[in-house]
Amino acid sequence: MDYVVRNMHSRETDLCDCGDLPVEPKTRIVYEGRYGIDLGVVLGTVQEGTRKKYKDCFKAVRVAQERDLESYREQDLQARDAARTCAERVESHKLDMHVVSAHYTLDKSKLLFFFVSDHRVDFRMLVRDLVGIFQVRVELRQIGVRDETRIIGGMGICGRRLCCNGISDKLPPVSIRMAKDQNYSLNSMKVSGPCGRLLCCLSYEHQFYQEERRKYPREGALVELDEAVLKVQEINILNGQVRLSGTEGQHLTVPVCSLHRQSVPQGKKKDRRRSVEWVLNPEGCPEAAQALSADEMDGQIEIDGV
């Protein structure tokens, strides 16, 4: 049976044929991965819709034993020393690259170094030095800054483990449009993760905001209330509220359930700049009815907040 397995070091996920091995989620296994014999943790059986995302299917060797886990821990400590040595050699060769981490395959037949750089790097002399030092096959792999954060890990501004490190290695494309749709402050410090790129969670939540926004008027739309015409200043999808304002400084915050789209007669062309597109009707929305009855004087709305 095929399972999705996460590599213990790189945090990348692989498709793995576990055969008849007694595995379940969180089982650690030894498998022939993309880098060689490695240690991984089973996430679960692969779904048909997910299977097509994986180009290769690797083979599980065995369920990890205590000796495998002990070897992994020892090799991890040795790899950290190797990363420091590599960084020193990079500096001596004056190469424009930053060493992120090092990793031994479980059978210790290969030593991998992951690095980031803004340019292509000629590291042939560096590889010769490293082979001479460690007496093992050496590979250098250039990764992006988002991959660097995925390997190192950390805590996000939400106070939880970074999504790329703890949930998924599939780094989705993220655009500034997603931040705008979710009413995020466009301050780069607030919409960026430790990697300096836009937050991955903007992509995860974007579909929800797209679906919810269909229930709301656009900012700047006109809303009719009795004889008054108000303008939409702000929408708050998480609170389910819309903030309106009048020409004479009136302000009103109402739940979205009190707003209804006004139908346009057939044959009449709709002018988005001038026409009243929405009607405020508190019937069927107790919160709005309570707010509107609190203080309403001759059609002049003086309410701020529900």
Domain chopping of the chain, boundaries: 2-64, 70-143, 147-214, 221-292
Question: For residue 151, what is the enclosing H or E element?
Answer: helix 145-152
Task: Report which of 219, 237, 233, 240 is spatially closest to residue 306, judged by C-alpha positions.
Answer: 240
Whether the predicted pLDDT of 200 surpasses 80 = yes
Band (114; pLDDT cuts 50, 70, 90):
very high
Q: If you count them, how many residues does the chain have?
A: 306
Whether the predicted pLDDT of 164 surpasses 60 = yes
Whether the predicted pLDDT of 274 surpasses 60 = no
The CATH architecture one would assign to domain 70-143 is: 2-Layer Sandwich (3.30)
Give the predicted TM-score (pTM) of the model. 0.71
- Largest Cα separation within the chain, whole Å, is 89
pLDDT of residue 15: 92
Q: How far is residue 223's CA from residue 9's CA, in Å, rounded to a whole number?
A: 55
pLDDT of residue 107: 92
**Tens of pLDDT along 87-102?**
999 999 999 999 999 9
Average pLDDT of the chain to the nearest whole number: 84
Task: Report which of 181, 213, 212, 211 is spatially closest to residue 198, judged by C-alpha positions.
Answer: 181
Whether the predicted pLDDT of 290 surpasses 70 = no
Whether the predicted pLDDT of 188 surpasses 80 = no
Whether the predicted pLDDT of 63 surpasses 60 = yes
Q: What percent of the chain has pLDDT over 70?
A: 87
Whether the predicted pLDDT of 172 surpasses 80 = no
Task: Report which of 143, 190, 198, 201 is spatially closest to residue 168, judged by C-alpha positions.
Answer: 201
Judge contact between 29 and 22, C-beta under 8 A. no
The tokens of 109 are what? 């037949």
pLDDT of residue 42: 94
Whether the predicted pLDDT of 304 surpasses 70 = no
Mean pLDDT check: name the lowest of 43-57, 247-261, 278-292. 278-292
DSSP string, 156-210: -TTSSB-HHHHT-S------HHHHHHTT----HHHHB-TTSSBPTHHHHHHHHHH
Q: How far is residue 190's CA from residue 199's CA, in Å, rounded to a whole number?
A: 9
Q: How far is residue 116's CA from residue 147's CA, in Å, rounded to a whole number?
A: 9
Which DSSP state fits 155?
B
Q: How far is residue 47's CA from residue 26's CA, in Å, rounded to a whole number?
A: 17
